[in-house]
A and B are shown apart, each in its own frame.
Chain A
């Protein structure tokens, strides 16, 4: 009987210790260049540097990047990691063969305080024209915003976020637009003294938006954004694009004394504990 109770208590303690989500600080791959499209393959120039952007706390420990040309054995490459931008880059040493299809496997990276994330696979095509000149970009064409509210895996609480939806204007580059990255800067708003890089993502296809999340303190008020594009050779478009502004209001949510709705994880934890305690009592009666 004591043994059963001890097992139940131990299980409960283990589950309690992991109450903060197991996926807290599991770095995601937020964007890759090129992107993986469902319908058609992205096309990059033969001299492209491939890159993947990881979430904030990713740590690169030399995990290999696997590049497999279609019909040929895979290449295992080491990347260079810029922890500030969260950008893992790799330049194939022999370049990419025009007209060939490749598959790159980006490794899941470990977080500073969390587990390793998941791999991401991207297939792409290679064009014949190398990227030789800087891209041209007309700036942000449209801007909208919204609230989101979801349970955070680290805090196990509902957290508010502002999401800004930016529609990039036209962009051209001799290496093609699939190898372009959009760099979004916040140029005014709470706590902004100089333009701040708030997001990097692959250039979306026409009509698609770039989602820029901001915290509840950073996202309220009148905010202005500007954007550049960067090609696979790290050249940026002209800096003279007009910022686009939007006024937001505070989220109409009341945060009351921490007694918000429980997350499914907390509820499952409580039910697990109750079931174990119940089982131990039933067992005691039988004994």
Chain B
């Protein structure tokens, strides 16, 4: 009579792919007068392989490669019965039976990377000189108006500006849609924005533009032509920026 028994060994903790897994090792015991051949064991292992994959086969880059260490099993008669499914092995046990599978993760095979060809380190976010450090030793580049450009996150920073948007307290001309069509806005104390556009009377030299065109491209052109620093509301320079200043903006814009 064939009597086999599968019993669950105490749960063991193993490390696979850097993580701890609770792995239960199943021991197939062959008891009584039944013995299994090596061929039978190999078939069982092959059939169990997908299950093993399911357990530990999702370890990132290394699909579940497990070393199956065949145990020495006494050679016996070849059983003509159909190969049983590993999970469906009828439970019979013998304490002396060997472990069927030892799941031991194999160390990942070393993946040969591209050979590092050392060149001078540059500010590009890459380890050019193959020393393990990225963008190290990049000197700051002096800017013509003062300040420096620094290597940051693989790029050199732009030359710093004296202020974000405008010189604190400075004024530029703006255009409003009513009454005088002309106004002035003052730069904030931190240079990061202009205040509201406050209505003023347009200068005499732009009276004609005001009367004929009101708040218009022509009025902005007059503002520029007469030497004011003006909000480029009508994009006279066709750069798509309608919030910039245009005209005589020394002392208003943030360049030196």
Contact = CB atoms under 8 A, between A and B. Distances in A.
Interface of A: 20-21, 23-25, 55-57, 82-86, 111-114, 152-157, 159, 161, 183, 185, 187, 193-198, 213-218, 226, 228, 234, 236, 238-243, 258
A157 B251 contact: no
Contacts of B191: 55-57
16 contacts: A20-B186, A24-B189, A25-B169, A55-B168, A55-B190, A85-B147, A112-B169, A113-B167, A152-B189, A152-B195, A154-B189, A194-B158, A195-B158, A213-B192, A239-B136, A242-B153
Given A25-B169, A195-B153, A243-B153, A84 B189 contact: no
Contact of A217 (B125, B193, B195): B193
A25 B168 contact: yes
Given A55-B189, A226-B153, A228-B150, 15 more contacts: A20-B186, A57-B162, A57-B163, A57-B191, A83-B145, A112-B169, A154-B169, A154-B195, A195-B153, A195-B157, A197-B157, A197-B160, A238-B134, A239-B151, A239-B153
B97 interface: no
Please list the 3 inter-chain residue pairs (A to B) with the smallest Cβ-Cβ separation, ordered nearest first: A155-B195, A215-B192, A25-B169
Contacts of A195: 150, 152-153, 155-158
A111 B150 contact: no
Contacts of A218: 164, 192
A190 to B, nearest CB: 11
A26 B18 CA distance: 60
Interface string B176-214: 000000000111111111111000000000000000000
Contacts of B159: 84
Name the residue in B135, B152, B154 with the highest tally of chain A Cβ atoms < 10 Å from its Cβ: B152
B73 interface: no
A187 B192 contact: no
A84 B256 contact: yes
Interface in B204-256: 243, 251, 254, 256
Contact of A239 (B150, B190, B256): B150
Nearest to A196: B158
A154 B168 contact: yes
Nearest to A197: B160
A49 to B, nearest CB: 15
B150 A193 contact: no
B170 A113 contact: yes
A112 B167 contact: yes
A197 B153 contact: no
B140 interface: yes
Nearest to A215: B192
Contacts of B254: 56
A193 B168 CA distance: 25
B134 to A, nearest CB: 4
